[in-house]
Amino acid sequence: MPIRLPFLQTPEKKRSPPTSFPVLAGDRAIEVTVRRNARARRYTLRLDRKSDGAIVTIPRRGSLAEAKAFVARHAGWIAERLASRPDVPDVPVAVSVRGVVHRVIPTGSSRGGVRLVASDDGPAIEVSGEAPHVRRRLIDYLKKQARADLTAAVAGHAAALGVRPSAIRLKDTSSRWGSCTARGVLAFSWRLVMAPPFVLDYVAAHEVAHLREMNHSDRFWAICEGLCPAADAAKDWLKKNGAGLHQQP
């Protein structure tokens, strides 16, 4: 009879809870993203601004099964809201790059990539490829520029403080422009590259300052403003214009 030695057995991996699930809304199947919020008191549902889907928030003691039932009961609401959305053009008309609005010019050519140009009608950005691929190529280009700008800004501020982040990551969050973990991982919204450079510089300085002070104390703000004297102007700009960055490209 074989003898089982528990300490020699490979432990079973815990399955991660699903981050999304499909639901039928009217005559179309959509993907519902799952968000858990320990401070939420009830289930909430909203459309995803970045896709033809929805987002359900589960409160602290909620369950995925209850979330699915909640979404199913409101499938008609989702269908109505999606139907009332304005059609998004396949090709963006314009996009802001470092605070300057550029007219988007699809070249239709498979060569050439993406490049900023000066046209008779003002700043423009040429994007190669057929129409269905223009948006993705434009976003890829902006992410690349964002990484370059943020890496440079973080390096400068980190050198000034004598600190070093463990990693820099790009995200597309709608709730915050940057974050800093206890392990020194800095994360930023790539959409900051659409804002004026002083705004991106402020967010970089803000997160680098957290490598010294993981709070928002007076000491933290003194460090942040020492790194970026334009902090107040940048905060005002984001308050007034930040939402617009999520509506493009």
Q: What is the pLDDT of residue 82?
A: 85
Domain map (residue ranges) of the chain: 20-84, 94-245
What are the backbone dihedrals phi and psi of residue 154, each rounded to the nearest 5 degrees, phi first? -65, -45
Q: What is the pLDDT of residue 10?
A: 52
Q: What is the pLDDT of residue 169?
A: 95
How far apart are the C-alpha atoms of 111 and 129, rounded to whole Å? 7
Mean pLDDT throughout 142-146?
A: 96
Q: What is the pLDDT of residue 3?
A: 53
Assess whether pLDDT exceeds 70 at residue 4. no
Q: What's the distance, CA 32 to chain centroid?
A: 17
Assess whether pLDDT exceeds 90 at residue 180. yes
User: How many other C-beta atoms lie within 10 A of the C-beta of residue 156?
Assistant: 14
- Average the pLDDT over each of 5-19, 71-85, 217-231 and give the range with the smallest value: 5-19
pTM of the model as a whole? 0.67
Give residue for tokens 């107040």: 232
Per-residue three-class SS string for the chain = CCCCCHHHCCCCCCCCCCCEEEEEECCEEEEEEEEECCCCCCCEEEECCCCCCEEEEECCCCCHHHHHHHHHHCHHHHHHHHHHCCCCCCCCCEEEECCEEEEEEECCCCCCCEEEEEECCEEEEEECCCHHHHHHHHHHHHHHHHHHHHHHHHHHHHHHHCCCCCEEEEECCCCCCEEECCCCEEEEEHHHHHCCHHHHHHHHHHHHHCCCCCCCCHHHHHHHHHHCCCHHHHHHHHHHHHHHHCCCC
Q: What is the pLDDT of residue 13?
A: 53
Structural fold of domain 94-245: Zincin-like (3.30.2010)
The pLDDT tens digits of the residues spanning 39-65 come to 899 999 998 876 778 999 999 889 999
Q: What is the pLDDT of residue 87?
A: 62
The pLDDT tens digits of the residues spanning 182-209 come to 999 999 999 999 999 999 999 999 999 9
Mean pLDDT throughout 119-128?
A: 87
Assess whether pLDDT exceeds 70 at residue 16. no
Share of the chain above pLDDT 70, in %: 90
Q: What is the pLDDT of residue 2?
A: 52
Mean pLDDT throughout 82-104?
A: 83
Q: What is the pLDDT of residue 130?
A: 80
